[in-house]
A and B are shown apart, each in its own frame.
Chain A
Amino acid sequence: ILNVEQSPQSLHVQEGDSTNFTCSFPSSNFYALHWYRWETAKSPEALFVMTLNGDEKKKGRISATLNTKEGYSYLYIKGSQPEDSATYLCAFMSGFQKLVFGTGTRLLVSP
Chain B
Amino acid sequence: ETGVTQTPRHLVMGMTNKKSLKCEQHLGHNAMYWYKQSAKKPLELMFVYNFKEQTENNSVPSRFSPECPNSSHLFLHLHTLQPEDSALYLCASSQEEGLAGARNEQFFGPGTRLTVL
Q: Which residues of A contact B (CB under 8 A)?
A: 4, 31-32, 34, 36, 41-46, 49, 51, 89, 91, 93, 95, 97-104
- Give the total number of A-B pairs whose CB atoms are below 8 A apart: 58
Tell me the nearest residue of chain B to A47, going by C-beta.
Answer: B105
Q: Looking at the complex, which one of B2, B40, B103, B104 makes contact with A45 (CB distance below 8 Å)?
A: B2
CA distance A102 to B52 in the complex (A): 28
Size bracket of the B interface = 20 to 34
> Which residues of the partner chain A approach B98 to less than 8 Å between Cβ atoms?
97-98
Interface class of chain B by DSSP = loop
Tell me the nearest residue of chain A to B100, going by C-beta.
Answer: A97
Contact: A46 with B42, CB < 8 Å?
Answer: no
> Which residues of the partner chain B approach A104 to less than 8 Å between Cβ atoms?
42
Tell me the nearest residue of chain A to B44, going by C-beta.
Answer: A101
Known interface pairs A43-B4, A95-B99; A34-B42 also in contact (CB < 8 Å): no
Q: Which residues of B contact A (CB under 8 A)?
A: 2, 4, 40-45, 48, 56, 58, 90, 97-99, 102-111
Contact: B40 with A97, CB < 8 Å?
Answer: no
CA distance A4 to B4 in the complex (A): 26
Contact: A43 with B111, CB < 8 Å?
Answer: yes
Tell me the nearest residue of chain B to A30, going by C-beta.
Answer: B102
CA distance A36 to B42 in the complex (A): 13
Tell me the nearest residue of chain B to A9, going by C-beta.
Answer: B40
Contact: B2 with A43, CB < 8 Å?
Answer: yes
CA distance A44 to B109 in the complex (A): 8
CA distance A46 to B107 in the complex (A): 7
CA distance A104 to B45 in the complex (A): 16
> Which residues of the partner chain B approach A49 to less than 8 Å between Cβ atoms?
103-105
Tell me the nearest residue of chain A to B97, going by C-beta.
Answer: A97
CA distance A32 to B109 in the complex (A): 22
Contact: B42 with A102, CB < 8 Å?
Answer: yes
Contact: B99 with A31, CB < 8 Å?
Answer: yes
Tell me the nearest residue of chain A to B6, going by C-beta.
Answer: A43
Contact: B106 with A34, CB < 8 Å?
Answer: yes
Candidate in B40, B97, B98, B109 with the most chain A CB atoms within 10 angstroms: B98
Cβ of A99 to closest chain B Cβ, rounded Å = 7
Contact: A98 with B108, CB < 8 Å?
Answer: no
